[in-house]
Every structure is written in C-alpha cells, then in structure tokens.
Structure 1
C-alpha cells in the first residue's frame, strides 16, 4: 500500500557498503550519525559515507547511558566514539555479535612474565576462516622468542583440537594488527 511506503530511510546506501542486502538487526542514531548492526557487521553512516567493520574485526566496546556515548575499538587498535540520542537495542546486539564471532579464548602464562590471551575469531558472514589474535598482559613480551614459541604452540594446539587441521594458524598480536 503506497500510504505506508517511505521515501528513504536511515539505511540508504548500506547494502552497497556491505556488498549485499542489508538486514539491520538494531541501530542507534545521533546528530548526523547512524550506527547499524547487521548479522555480519557494524556500520556507521557519518557525513553521507558508510564505514563497515565485520564483527570479527571489532575487539570490544561499551555503551554509557549516562553520557550517551557508544565506544568501540577494532582489533587494529582504532578507537571510535559516538554520541547517540537513541541507542535502541544496539548495545545488546553489539555484545551478542562480539560473543558470536569469538570461537575460542585461551589464557597462557608467558614463559618470562605476564600472560597472553589467545583469541580465535570467525566471520559471521559467508567466509568461515578463523583469525587468531594474541593479546599480551602483565608485561608479557610477544617479541620474546620463548613467549612467541609458547603462543604458536598453544594456537596450534587449539587449532588442532577445535578444527582438527593441525596446521600452523596465522596469528597476530593485538598490537601488530
């Protein structure tokens, strides 16, 4: 019925940015900005341009209702923050999609000091590969050969145990990506 048909929406151009039809599961809006969460990605429309981050490339973030700030960080170390006047269900979807893309998490003690968290993340789209990340804490040094060897050994073990391939997976430190 033409009476209920709208001209334009918050999501015009999103399908082109995603490279596929856009099924928005949740969204938030602010002054001149739209944040959309789909099954596969987080997308932001600002100044007429969509930027898209697949969920497996988003390391985490938070919503503060007190400040109306929606913040997130990518696995590449980019930090982003937006003020939203309407968050709707975006914070819940954000957490759920991050968790859905996280296949494996393992914490090992680094041989010299500190710990390293090894994280396997998968695409929530059609691609099914797993990317591995090593996140040092407590003074762990990923440049130390014994720490690096321990990380590779644990990543190999996890890959073989969960995926049965036993191959040496490509892993990256959180500071290298």
Structure 2
C-alpha cells in the first residue's frame, strides 16, 4: 500500500487559503475602523458648502426650494429649486448645488445651467435619512451665490424599510 503523502499542491493550497483568510480579516478590520458615521452633521454640511463654493458667503433670497414639509417615506422625496433669474447671456444661473444636513454625505448634487436653459428651475427626488434641513445654493454668472432652504420632517427614514 502506498503511504498517505499529500501532493505538493495541497500544502500550497492550504497556505494560500490561510493567507487569503488573514488578508480578508485585515481588510475587514481596516474597513470597520474607516467607516464614517451613519449621518453627517451640520458642520460637515457647512464644510461641504465651503468646498463647493469656496470662501464666498451666499446671500439669502432669489432661491426657492419647494420641498414638502412632512414626508412619510424618505426614499424618494420630491423637490424643486427655482432661482429668480432672467437667464440672459449677461445674467444667468451657472449652477445649482444641493446639500443636506443629516444624510451620510452632505453634498447631494450639482446641476449646471446656462442662458439657453430658458428658466432656472430643476426638479428631482432625493433620499433623506432623517428629518433635516436641505439647502440649495445658486451660483450666478456674476460670481455671486444665493441660497434658500427648507426643513423637512421624515416619518420613515430612507434605507430602513423592511423588504418583505
């Protein structure tokens, strides 16, 4: 009878599996240490605004953020941003930036416009993780920034529904 000697590839396979498991465990620990908080803070929202528009201070007015004050489900909250602008070559909206206060990422979206857009209005749906404030900032062709905001109460936060 032959002796039960493992082939050379079996030893290599075991070493490979052990090293793969060690790497996976190390990666999991690294990810756990690097995970951000589940929601942003108002300070993080202000930092995201500064990162997007620079040191400029946005003025209040000219921006209307139409958002329902109470939503049952935060998974698809409709909103419309309208900016008071003639949308001419000399005076138009360059971009509309959206920010929120308590989602994991405070920056939501940027919409780039020009005078050929006809009117300065965008509509979309966003996820909201909790009751919070949403801010829209319009960047004008003269370099000025204008802002408007709305608070919304969310009864069922996004991403926590039961999928049954």
TM-score tier after normalising by the smaller chain length: under 0.3
> Which protein is richer in strand relative to its size?
1
Q: TM-score, normalised by structure 2?
A: 0.24
Indicate the structure (1 or 2) with the bigger Cα radius of gyration: 2
